[in-house]
Structure 1
Amino acid sequence: MSHSMGESTADTETKKVSEYTRVVYDPIDTRHYGAIHTPIYQNSLFAFENYDQFDQAFQDLQAIPVYSRGHNPTVRYLEHKIADLEEAEEAKCFSSGMAAITAAILSTVSQGDHIICVNQVYGPTREFLGGYLQKFGIETTFVDGSRIEAWEEAVRPNTRMFYLESPTTQLFQLQDIRACTTLAKSIGALTIIDNTWATPVFQKPLQLGVDLSVHSISKYIGGHSDCIGGVVIGSAAIIKALFNKEYMLFGGIMTPQTAALVSKGLRTLPLRLRRHEASALKVAAFMQTLPFVVKVNHPGLESHPQHQLAMTQMSGSTSLFSFESPMELSRIKEWANRLKYFKIAVSWGGFESLVTVNKLNSAPADSPRVVVRIYIGLEEPEDLMADIESAWKQVEALELP
């Protein structure tokens, strides 16, 4: 995929600056003696010289540090960097991806509203939308996100929000973001997208009409499997309203220590993603040749049914994908057990390769399949491919219960 970028909120010169430069460069900060990294502000509160300053600060708690539940300078620095990278006006960081997701959702809907959501959405998000919100009289319809007709058919008079996740993180199905946002705007609904897979480097949803973009910072943005966090990105007006309500009242704040770790990870995000992308495409293509694989789900492959759409709305692909197998679940789990360079673990986005194995719930009853989610880290792809093949040869002839 070709790579293109821009900057919607900065001047003309900044628009021409590469993302490699934008995540690394900061002006000399004389307040901090030219420190290369923004210091960790380990403060619960901030003092003022006089009461006039104190009163003024309460007029804009998002901009002026008073108490770290509202504004912490270390966290605020990270928010500015992420907003810049996703070409947005504002961003707000949270203690986890789910804290960001639930705050974003609750900021857009009220009792009696209706939500339309892609049916392959992240499990906890689906539970929140389809289960938890019902006690507030908020209903959700889950649709085949790949068909704009499914979104159109699900619209009700009280539909207030579309929730997208493109690509999804199990079968890696895309939604036509521009078509979905156009439909949402035509009925007066807002759109939220989980953009964690593509990151702000490879997908800029706000430029496609999305109102709010959410990320699990724990994944690629942090990049080192050492922190938990989330972020909501959008216009200054929407984020200010979210800050004053869902952020301040629910208290799901990011700590300054986490923000400092994530800021360091952000410096290398575009560089790491190029490596992840190239390695994953090589491994995914290799997986298509193996006897125990019947389908590989990776939008960056030409074999993916939505590859052309991926090339239209993303400027690159990342390294989480899945494959489907007709083999017994026990055999595939034993294959995973014998992998040397893949850890069996949840999450993704760090330097280490990962694998998880599950039944494919959407498979026909007379043709069961296993779906294996593969995350390609920063190891040498040839080593990973040799590991995959070696593990299969070890289990291929085993007698398993």
Structure 2
Amino acid sequence: MNLSYILNELGENREDYFNAVAPPIIQTSNFAFKKVDDLRKAFEDEASAYLYRRGNNPTLKILSQKLAALDGAEDGLVFNSGAGAIYAAVVANVKSGDHIISVDKPYSWAQKLFNEILPRFNVTTTYVDGREIENFKNAIQPNTTVIYLETPNSWSFYLQDLREVAKLAKEKNILTICDNSYCSPLYQRPVEYGIDLVLQSATKYISGHSDVVAGVLCGTAKMMNKIFNAEYMNIGIGTTPFNAWLLIRGLRTIKIRLEKISETTPKIVNYLKLHEKVESVIFPFDKDFPQSKLAKEQMQGACGLFSFIIRAEKVDEIENFCQGLKHILMAVSWGGHESLIIPGCASISSNEFSPANMAHRTMRMYVGLEEAEYLIEDLERGFKTME
């Protein structure tokens, strides 16, 4: 399906709302019926009807159609956070006694689900280094029902070979789930490689303006219907009409935003690679990245998120660097208009810092829509505070 058509027209039946160019926000909690039989049908199949805001909504429906089409999937659901999409995707496909294989060090709230919530219901998880297909093969147990992927990871940027993992999973009748937040559907489409369910944090590139928290889950119509009628409706984790409208607005410019970010990021990466205060840079499309060949085979772009290892003997040097930045904000997340940075040492106490531990000296940076020269000047400002 043509990208321009998806972003600008798909699902937008303008004659249904006064030929308005932008779809309206249908801000209602309830929908009325004139015939008892119509209400009866809505009760029987709420996934296909407008009955109550916890379920379907016309503004949300436009958005979900667009997002499913971008992923190359049959259908999609939009959640009030990426964590909600992860929860629903996993919980809908496990039962007591089941086993999950997950890539190691996934998104923190996925890991919390695997480590703390699911064990209460006798569901276990094995973590593997997803860079080698043999690690998945060796981890499979008779009760394995789900393989959970995150490619690339948002700190180490390790990749999994989607085609190989999907092939293995189908041979063993195991469901695959992939977190595609790093690439977005514009730069990677896991469904095309045989992955069953693909999710992403819409907070990132789909929104693009740092003003919405949301998550997306796409797959077959049958699977989306199953999740809608259980986890989605039971927990009430769908996004709001206003957030759906903001996400539709964000989609209008996603292509040009990603192009701009993808143009700027290599300039920042190359600058950092040559800086005396930087030990190394970790970026999937960099020629020195160990999996760069696989990255360029299954990804169409690498966007603006990368890590670099700063040379520092004391935690004060890293803190001074971060606090010396004037324009690059210190914050979590990514995908918005603003450039961000977050130091790995923020997750430990200052007295735990060890320069021998590379993770303590790792900085994760996101390149936004600013000009490369503007960001390099700010990074220089930060480096000077370390002296």
In angstroms, what is the RMSD of aligned CA positions? 1.6
Alignment match, 2:364: 373
Report which stretch shifted further, 188-197 or 327-336: 327-336
What SS does the aligned partner of 2:226 have? helix
Q: CA deviation at 1:366?
A: 8.2
Following the alignment from structure 2 to structure 1, what is the Cα–Cα distance between the partners of residues 316 and 342? 13
Residue 329 of structure 2, aligned match among 324, 336, 343: 343
Following the alignment from structure 2 to structure 1, what is the Cα–Cα distance between the partners of residues 224 and 271? 43
Is there any run of 5+ residues in structure 2 with no aligned partner, and where? 348-353
Q: CA deviation at 1:330?
A: 2.2
With normalisation by structure 1, the TM-score equals 0.91
Q: CA deviation at 1:231?
A: 1.1
Is there any run of 5+ residues in structure 1 with no aligned partner, and where? 1-14, 397-401
What are the within-5 Å matches in structure 2 for residues 121-160 of structure 1? 121-160=106-145
**CA offset digits 1:104-145 (Å, max 9, x no partner):** 100111111000101021111111112221010000011111
Alignment match, 1:10: none
Report which stretch shifted further, 84-93 or 277-286: 277-286
Alignment match, 1:316: 301
Report which stretch shifted further, 217-226 or 53-62: 53-62
Say whether the 8 Å CA contact 2:328–2:339 is kept in structure 1.
Answer: yes
Following the alignment from structure 2 to structure 1, what is the Cα–Cα distance between the partners of residues 62 and 260? 26
Alignment match, 1:382: 373
Following the alignment from structure 2 to structure 1, what is the Cα–Cα distance between the partners of residues 13 and 129? 49
**CA offset digits 1:46-102 (Å, max 9, x no partner):** 001111211122232112101111111111110001011111110001111111110
What SS does the aligned partner of 1:100 have? helix
**CA offset digits 1:269-306 (Å, max 9, x no partner):** 11101111111121112111111211211101111111
Alignment match, 2:180: 195
Following the alignment from structure 1 to structure 2, what is the Cα–Cα distance between the partners of residues 25 and 239? 23
Alignment match, 1:240: 225
Say whether the 8 Å CA contact 1:20–1:270 is kept in structure 2.
Answer: no
**CA offset digits 1:185-213 (Å, max 9, x no partner):** 11111000100110010000001111111
Specify the code of the residue in structure 2 equivalent to 1:368: N
Specify the code of the residue in structure 2 equivalent to 1:340: K
**CA offset digits 1:255-275 (Å, max 9, x no partner):** 101101111001111110111
Tell me whether 1:49 sits opposite 2:34 in the alignment: yes
Following the alignment from structure 2 to structure 1, what is the Cα–Cα distance between the partners of residues 32 and 385? 65
Specify the code of the residue in structure 2 equivalent to 1:22: I
Specify the code of the residue in structure 2 equivalent to 1:383: Y
What SS does the aligned partner of 1:294 have? strand
Instruction: Report which of the two has the higher share of helix.
Output: 2
Q: CA deviation at 1:21?
A: 4.3
Specify the code of the residue in structure 1 equivalent to 2:362: V
What SS does the aligned partner of 2:153 have? coil
Following the alignment from structure 1 to structure 2, what is the Cα–Cα distance between the partners of residues 329 and 91? 44
Alignment match, 1:101: 86
What are the within-5 Å matches in structure 2 for residues 11-160 of structure 1? 15=1, 17=2, 19-26=3-10, 29-160=14-145
Following the alignment from structure 1 to structure 2, what is the Cα–Cα distance between the partners of residues 96 and 146? 27
Decide whether aligned partners of structure 1 residues 230 and 30 sit closer, same or farther in structure 2, where only a CA change above 3 A counts. Answer: same
Tell me whether 1:334 sits opposite 2:325 in the alignment: no
Alignment match, 1:302: 287
Alignment match, 2:171: 186
With normalisation by structure 2, the TM-score equals 0.94
Question: Identical aligned pairs, as a percentage?
Answer: 38
Following the alignment from structure 1 to structure 2, what is the Cα–Cα distance between the partners of residues 267 and 63? 26
Alignment match, 1:8: none
